[in-house]
């Protein structure tokens, strides 16, 4: 069975002055996949997200979404095409309510406030914040703010969601709930590329893992393949993580 490629990094590079943050990285995310992007701190994972979502322009290479180039386009354009990211540091509009925050995403496709409100209410239900719609966003727990970040992204009707460390700082129960949520999103037809430092979580979630170190892709494969890759073990994972 052939799967349809959604997102394609093709020989992508990014320099910040003299720093080569990303060097010749190529990989794809196909429809229906959850792909995990892992690597040590400073490896370049967020830079890859920022380039795919239009916040940074690659220095070299191409990024294609559904076969069309998106590198160099701005975030709203890319979001409208169906590719949206969350941010590692969650920053809701603190004084606004939870539903007003989610409406910000919904306005991308729904100009009428009532329609945007309906979409926002639906995605809040999906992420488990249905009962907190009228709460002021800044009063949510970290777990709640992470869910709201996902809801804002979902409200834009993405085909592909880029999740940047949505499990960081969560308790083990909250992490398990977030894993369930991500799996339910995939089941609802959204493909996912996830940056995650929680090895156990990312290994259980992803059907493919891409490993980045010092801006280069050092491995790609199933969680078991990657966990048994000698280069990954020595570079990053450490013996105790080997499957």
Ligand X SMILES: Nc1ncnc2c1ncn2[C@@H]1O[C@H](COP(=O)(O)OP(=O)(O)OP(=O)(O)O)[C@@H](O)[C@H]1O
Which CB sits closer to ligand X, 43 or 162? 43
Please pick, from the candidates 9, 29, 36, 45, the single residue that binds ligand X as defined by CB under 6 A: 45
Please pick, from the candidates 1, 19, 89, 173, the single residue that binds ligand X as defined by CB under 6 A: 19
Q: Which residues, including other chains, have CB under 8 Å from residue 188's CB and lie 6 or more apart? A: 126
Stretch that binds ligand X, among 34-42, 96-104, 144-152, 220-228 (CB under 6 A): 34-42
Please pick, from the candidates 3, 4, 11, 42, the single residue that binds ligand X as defined by CB under 6 A: 42
Please pick, from the candidates 33, 35, 36, 46, the single residue that binds ligand X as defined by CB under 6 A: 46
SS3 154: helix
Question: How far apart are alpha carbons 17 and 229 in whole angstroms?
Answer: 32
Q: Does 44 participate in binding ligand X (rule CB under 6 A)?
A: yes
Q: Does 86 participate in binding ligand X (rule CB under 6 A)?
A: no
Stretch that binds ligand X, among 39-47, 90-98, 126-134, 229-237 (CB under 6 A): 39-47
**Which two three-digit tokens encode residue 14?**
């990014």
Task: Report in angstroms how near the CB of residue 42 gets to ligand X at its nearest.
Answer: 4
Please pick, from the candidates 16, 131, 139, 184, the single residue that binds ligand X as defined by CB under 6 A: 16
Q: Which residues, including other chains, have CB under 8 Å from residue 187's CB and lie 6 or more apart? A: none
Which CB sits closer to ligand X, 143 or 213? 213
Which of these, 30, 105, 25, 33, lies nearest to 65 by C-alpha position? 30
Question: How far apart are alpha carbons 207 and 34 in whole angstroms?
Answer: 6
Which CB sits closer to ligand X, 86 or 97? 86
Question: How far apart are alpha carbons 182 and 150 in whole angstroms?
Answer: 9
**Phi and psi, residue 214, nearest 5°:** 45, 40
SS3 38: strand
Binding site for ligand X (CB under 6 A): 16, 19, 21, 39, 41-47
């Amino acid at each position: 069975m052939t799967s349809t490629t959604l997102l394609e990094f093709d020989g992508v590079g990014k320099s910040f002055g003299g720093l080569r943050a990303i060097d010749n990285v190529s990989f794809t995310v196909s429809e229906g996949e959850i792909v995990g992007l892992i690597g040590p701190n400073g490896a370049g994972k967020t830079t890859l997200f920022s380039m795919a979502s239009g916040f940074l322009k690659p220095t070299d290479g191409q990024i294609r979404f559904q076969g069309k180039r998106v590198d160099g386009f701005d975030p709203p354009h890319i979001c409208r095409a169906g590719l949206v990211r969350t941010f590692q540091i969650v920053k809701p509009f603190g004084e606004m309510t939870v539903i007003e925050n989610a409406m910000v995403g919904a306005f991308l496709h729904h100009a009428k406030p009532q329609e945007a409100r309906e979409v926002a209410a639906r995605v809040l239900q999906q992420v488990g914040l249905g009962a907190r719609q009228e709460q002021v966003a800044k009063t949510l727990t970290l777990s709640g703010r992470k869910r709201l970040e996902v809801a804002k992204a979902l409200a834009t009707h993405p085909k592909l969601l880029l999740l940047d460390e949505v499990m960081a700082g969560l308790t083990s129960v909250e992490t398990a709930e977030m894993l369930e949520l991500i799996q339910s999103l995939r089941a609802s037809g959204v493909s996912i590329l996830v940056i995650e430092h929680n090895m156990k979580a990312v290994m259980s979630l992803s059907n493919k893992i891409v490993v980045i170190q010092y801006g280069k892709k050092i491995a790609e494969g199933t969680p078991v393949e990657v966990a048994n890759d000698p280069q990954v073990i020595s570079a990053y994972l450490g013996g105790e993580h080997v499957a």
